[in-house]
Amino acid sequence: MLSEPVELLKTLIALPSVNPMGGEADPEICFETRVTEFLINWSRQLGIEPIIQEIEEGRSNVVLLWENPHQPNSEVILLDAHQDTVPVAGMTIEPFKPVVQDAKMFGRGACDVKGGLAAMMSAFARIVQKAPPDAPSVMLSCTIDEEATTMGINALTNWLSTGDLPCPKPVAAVIAEPTELDIIVTHRGVVRWKIEASGTACHSSTPELGENAIYRMGQVLNRIEKYAESLPTQKPAHPKCGPSTLSVGRIGGGASVNIVPEECWIEVDRRLIPGETAQEAQQAVIDELQSLPFEVIHHQPWLISAPLPDDENEALATSLLKSIDEVAGPHETIGVAFGTHASRTARVGIPSVVFGPGNIAQAHTKDEWIEIRQLQQAAEIYYQFCKSFNVR
Ligand SMILES: [Zn+2]
């Protein structure tokens, strides 16, 4: 059976698991089914009957649990990587034909995050096969739908928080994402929602008879722009992940140039720093626009992703950093602007960090690749970290 990270990654790249992210879903390449089936078979070859959490037809989390036979009820470490990739339109390489060239492997998902998944699988297989007597138990969760609506991690964290587990609740979580072997200990979150202003339509030759929704939105935008500028002074920036921000990214409205518009909408992207909640952040914008002399409609957010705070994961980061240093030399703990599964596992009380091979700059790109050396180092680091983990 495959347990070497480069061979595992080749296999995973050749199994398309594109998340259509709301776009057209080509059944030949879309969804995680092919990867899921491979993971289930691989797990059984390893002698582990996987826990399968079906989220939608053909879309399942696969959870592999190895309980250390030498230590009943030992602490559990959670390793998590997602099975899906972003779409492949516009790629300049063959997305599903892994190619090794210049000490890199190319293919969709090489960097985000099949490389991390392959490294975790390799480490997990070594732990299972060698069964180090002092090691903690290890749970490897391969989750679906990270790139879109995060259904996989939602189901996993619900399960982890119900207490209906075949083992003790994990005491630490390492989430695979490309970090160049640094450790993300904190990141920003985001809330996105739509705001609407309405008016009264009439013929554009008699605009005085109508109420122009676009002019109204102009007033909304003036207020929001000032509010966004004032955000950094209202709240000190987080030392590792920067300030709270707000950006209006889209606008639409009106039916025709000869009609006074009845409606106008915008879409807001508000980045959250640790300590902020999506609800408070949205409410602050609602309050800011309250005194306008017309109705402003705020839709329910369509995306909420919590920030990852760095107040519970220091011991975990220190322990992981030691394994990284031993294998790959000095690295550091960092904060980033993008979100990950770690904020979800942290919210159910599991200290969590993000660590993996590859550079986020190569994620989602038209010629996605990963450095083979980093892939192999990450596999070794996950193994060493699991084997020697001890936060007591
Ligand atoms: Zn990812």
Contact between 296 and 195 (Cβ < 8 Å)? yes
pLDDT digit string, tens, across residues 291-330: 999 999 999 999 899 999 999 999 999 999 999 999 999 9
Report in angstroms the alpha-carbon separations of 323 from 23, 274, 342.
41, 27, 20
> Is residue 392 predicted with pLDDT exceeding 70?
no
Q: What percent of the chain has pLDDT over 70?
A: 99
Report in angstroms the alpha-carbon separations of 170 from 27, 92, 166, 260, 298.
36, 41, 11, 59, 38
**Ligand 1 mean position, distance from CA 370 (Å):** 13
**Ligand 1 mean position, distance from CA 294 (Å):** 42
* Residue position matching structure tokens 């491979």: 38
> Is residue 100 predicted with pLDDT exceeding 80?
yes
**Ligand 1 mean position, distance from CA 311 (Å):** 23
Q: Which tokens hold the place of 238?
A: 């987080």
The CATH T-level fold of domain 5-187+307-388 is: Aminopeptidase (3.40.630)
Q: Which tokens hold the place of 184?
A: 């993300």
* Residue position matching structure tokens 């970290």: 385
Provide φ and ψ at 199, rounded to 5°: -140, -160
pLDDT of residue 391: 52
Q: What percent of the chain has pLDDT over 90?
A: 92
Distance CA(207)–CA(24), nearest Å, equals 41
Number of Cβ within a 10 Å radius of residue 326: 13
Provide φ and ψ at 129, rounded to 5°: -75, -35
Could you tell me the residue ranges of all domains in the chain? 5-187+307-388, 199-305
Provide φ and ψ at 333, rounded to 5°: -95, 135
**Ligand 1 mean position, distance from CA 339 (Å):** 9
**Ligand 1 mean position, distance from CA 173 (Å):** 16
Distance CA(182)–CA(328), nearest Å, equals 10
Secondary structure of residue 379 in the 3-state scheme: helix
**Ligand 1 mean position, distance from CA 221 (Å):** 33
Distance CA(285)–CA(299), nearest Å, equals 12
The answer to whether the pTM exceeds 0.85 is: yes
Q: Looking only at Cα atoms, what is the longest distance across the chain?
A: 84
Pairing of strands 245-253, 303-305: unpaired
pLDDT of residue 22: 85
Which of 185, 168, 157, 221 lies closest to 353, judged by CA?
A: 185
The CATH T-level fold of domain 199-305 is: Alpha-Beta Plaits (3.30.70)
